[in-house]
Amino acid sequence: MSWLNDLSTELQSRRDQGLYRQCRVVDGKQSVELMVDGEKMLAFCSNDYLGLAADPRLAEAATQAIKNAGVGAGAAHLISGHMRAHHDAEMALADWLGYERVLLFSTGYMANLGVIASLLSANDCVIQDKWNHASLIDAAKLSGAQLKRYQHADMASLERQLTTEAERKLIATDSVFSMDGDVAPLTQMVALSQQYAAPIMVDEAHGIGVLGEQGRGAANAAGVNANDVPILMGTLGKAFGVAGAFVAASHDVIEMLIQSARSYIYTTAMPAAMASTVQASLEIVREEQWRRDHLQAVVKQFREGVQSLGLSLMSSTTPIQPVLLGDAHRALAWSQRLRELGLWVPAIRPPTVPRETARLRFTFSAAHSAAHVDRALESLAICQRELA
Ligand SMILES: *Cc1c(COP(=O)(O)O)cnc(C)c1O
């Protein structure tokens, strides 16, 4: 007998508390209409904001690239895994975003770990919005720097944290917050960043491809540039529909990451075919503005519909649209009823969100139609009638 045998007790207690997490198996392709355990579901939970994850052009680019460059990269970037397609994708992203350099990472989680743990150590301080993504919080822990958190989007609270003594201070924030869908007040943050000589790192996981001119992100939409936000992280598995992530920064910052970011150095490079597919996706992201326009239209239709049902929305203008239900059991019951009606909408409950702010978290995609939104609204009306 070892302690491993006691895990079943712990697992059961999670089940009893309604906290047990489970993956559901999706067959076929990613789509807003998913085959889940043999059932067709209309999904409002993906981050495939532009509907590109299963775009045939990306599948074709990936297939061609695999034929040309094979599947595996075989080694880490610094050994022999840095292939032409990685180099070209980095150049294309840097050019698009107006940064000196870009560095690809295998995932956004690893990019955040790499940046913060490489640039900061024990005598430094990273100042973060309280609602930042887990990867930024984990990165702070890994770096050994002091972690200070300010109240969500509260500039007075940020300023208090900035008065701290530390050799290096870095402000890190999500651009679009994943549970509320609101956007960080980047213009005000840039002013504080300059006043306190604390550079800003912005995580554009939910902003890149979706907001700004040509989908360059929330920072671009706020009119701030590479001088104001010297470190920009973006993911390639959400709106880009591919996989991986990148960091855009100055030449020196990128060189420092190459020297010392352990999540860059000690891991096999992403397949070159994925980097080729990123280039194909970038072209679509840049050129097909209609996807962002349609996404905005779908969000507007949903918000107007929810308001006329008398339900509570948050002030989000992004594709992340929570419907606030308050009580955790209520959110769960609505989510389950929606599931019976063929809709996949997760209930988000404490401790992920503050007490009494349990919610249904709808996320929208350019692949949703007006009819899909109507179905969501009709299904919410059914919940409202049955589960008042
Ligand atoms: C998804 C996400 C990440 C992690 O990116 P992956 O490429 O999925 O590892 C980081 N930050 C935020 C805010 C995210 O939403």
Q: Do 20-50+289-387 and 56-287 show the same overall fold?
A: no
- 314 contacts: CB under 8 Å, gap ≥ 6: 180, 181, 182, 321, 322, 324, 359
Single out the catalytic residue among 77, 82, 148, 238. 238
**CATH entry 3.40.250.10 includes domain 20-50+289-387:** no
pLDDT value at position 244?
98
pTM value is: 0.97
d(Cα 201, Cα 139) in Å, to the nearest integer? 12
| 361, two tokens | 């978290």
**Are the C-beta atoms of residues 237 and 110 closer than 8 Å to each other?**
no
Query: Could you tell me how many residues make up the chain?
Result: 388
**CATH entry 3.40.190.10 includes domain 56-287:** no
Residue 233 Cα to ligand 1 midpoint, Å, equals 10
Q: Is 238 a catalytic residue?
A: yes
pLDDT value at position 137?
98
Residue 121 Cα to ligand 1 midpoint, Å, equals 23
| 210, two tokens | 């979706």
Low-confidence ranges of the chain (pLDDT < 70): none
Strand partners, 127: 148, 171
Residue 360 Cα to ligand 1 midpoint, Å, equals 20
Domain boundaries of the chain, sorted by first residue: 20-50+289-387, 56-287
Would you tell me how many other CB atoms lie within 10 Å of the CB of residue 27? 9
Q: Is 178 a catalytic residue?
A: yes
pLDDT in tens, 226-262: 999 999 999 999 999 999 999 999 999 999 999 999 9
With residues binned 3-state (H G I as helix, E B as strand, rest as coil), the percentages for the chain, rounded to 5, are: 45, 20, 35
Question: What's the one-letter identity of residue 257?
Answer: L
pLDDT value at position 128?
98
Which among 216, 264, 239 is positioned nearest to 86, based on CA atoms?
264
Q: Is 143 a catalytic residue?
A: no
Strand, coil or helix: what is 54? coil
